[in-house]
Structure 1
């Protein structure tokens, strides 16, 4: 059985004292040998943590002991290896960065749609289905027929909405819109934003893609491909089984078997996405880092020194 429990969590709730919450929360996580990243902002909490089952339970109990977080919901999955290197609790302006003021997801989000009802909604020809994740995430999997905004960060989403709301755009007549993302947090904020723009019928997948893959049988699924996740697993499949993608340590793009077969792939140094984007000096630094990684592996140790971490979790400025 897998050894490490992973808990993904978020909640939009007013935390006026969020700065004061950081130190005791970090202490609780470290005392229970839990690693990962948690973000705190005035608008709430977001993040992913991993550890023993008992350790995760202790941290969740601590969080829920705050009446404002008593209804905090989390999603669980398992990993054979610890997917994080250390524990970080960060203070942010937003737990998911959109950069638009007065978008209050806690009170303005669209209609939640449970995974069991999602297929019926997205099969409706009058519904525009929008994947609100970033382009590199969409590239390895999405719901069939979903619109890809081709954003590099979530802060670009409002501009896409403005462009597509113009005549001829997919949102021009303010249709019914169904949105989805990895765990649900981007959806809450994006649907809230659409409501500020005059959209009346806006829906989002409750629990995100992860809950859908966890609960909907593969033979009934509308999902095509794998789902990118923001830890060392890189991607997951139906049932939240580990996916087939790996991470380029030079550019942090998910890599398929085909990518790794490319002449431009050098483990830890370059891939088809970035082989022409780094200087020779940078590549030499990556080579030295990779040597240290391989040396640590040969000694059955985990290399956590000079490394290129995976992309920041969505809440840190993406999702």
Structure 2
């Protein structure tokens, strides 16, 4: 729920030819600093990807400025809210790809794979099959540590560590997914958009991407058929199906996701360590005292 002093958090991307990224970078940085926005914007030859937070008026001014460029006039944005600024700085980066897949022939700008809207997907999952009677299989295209925070029920999770591993893994499992409708998904739609196109290119005949990703699904359908929360790449760490910040955190030392239960461990010291990076046998009494006090 948004209040008068809430920060508006926006996530958006668009695949479009963007060949003047170096020239545009100073302009993006200047407008964001002027509006006191924080977050990260990626400018790439294949398009734009952004995660920003600021007050309502400033966010709206930025989007008006961005959409004045005809390439981004139809940019769609997903919103959530927080009582504090979830980012610590403003970065505008030049990258080769919006999300690294290392398959330069995949160009979503030239044609997307079929997409399924959140409400349609929920109906398919409710009834156990798509509108043609084919069983529906959910395929998570995110990295393993993100999946561990939450994912759809009965989803396929191949434990990939980075998205560039996806093409090889999905090719290995092609026979297992024959005669099924596969729905690829990710946080906001970028990875599953590329993933679905690649799967079509290698011969999958019934594959869809979840339009808008998990965040759009939460917005329209809540947590139906979903277990847990959704990892996000800012200081909120994870959002629940109501798009609210959760108690899940990320370890400052090793960057592992630390659940509320794991934060009860004597090996968890906020800003220093967690059970993923400190072996149990070397946890110290000082650590135990610190954590016990913090969790009262």
Give the corresponding residue for 2:8.
5
Match of 2:138 among 113, 129, 137: 129
- Whose relative contact order is higher, 1 or 2, with alpha carbons under 8 Å and at least 6 apart? 1
- TM-score scaled by structure 2? 0.88
Counterpart Cα distance in 1 of 2:137 and 2:202: 16
Q: How many residues align?
A: 277
Q: Could you tell me how far 1:77 is from its partner in structure 2?
A: 0.9
Do the aligned residues in 2 keep the contact of 1:215 with 1:239 (CA within 8 Å)? no
Moved over 6 A (4+): none
Q: Could you tell me how far 1:217 is from its partner in structure 2?
A: 4.2
Q: How does 1:4-153 map to 2 (within 5 A)?
A: 4-122=7-125, 123-124=128-129, 126-153=135-162
Aligned-partner SS, 2:173: helix
Aligned-partner SS, 1:257: coil
Counterpart Cα distance in 2 of 1:140 and 1:32: 33
Counterpart Cα distance in 1 of 2:222 and 2:163: 30
Question: Deviation string for 1:171-212 (max 9, x for gaps)?
Answer: 3x3742111111111111111111221222211111111111
Counterpart Cα distance in 1 of 2:99 and 2:248: 25
Unaligned runs of 5+ in 1: 277-286, 288-319
Match of 1:212 among 209, 217, 227: 217
Is 1:178 the counterpart of 2:189? The answer is no
Match of 1:199 among 180, 204, 210: 204
Counterpart Cα distance in 2 of 1:24 and 1:17: 11
Do the aligned residues in 1 keep the contact of 2:82 with 2:244 (CA within 8 Å)? no
Give the corresponding residue for 1:252.
255
- TM-score scaled by structure 1? 0.81
Aligned-partner SS, 1:232: coil
Counterpart Cα distance in 2 of 1:41 and 1:76: 23
Q: Could you tell me how far 1:82 is from its partner in structure 2?
A: 0.5
Counterpart Cα distance in 2 of 1:194 and 1:108: 14
Give the corresponding residue for 1:284.
none
Give the corresponding residue for 1:187.
192
Aligned-partner SS, 1:76: strand
Question: Deviation string for 1:247-267 (max 9, x for gaps)?
Answer: 111111221122112232222
Counterpart Cα distance in 2 of 1:243 and 1:32: 27
Structure 2 vs 1, CA of residues 10 and 214 (structure 1 numbering), >3 Å: closer, same or farther?
same
Q: Could you tell me how far 1:21 is from its partner in structure 2?
A: 1.3
CA RMSD, 1 decimal: 2.4
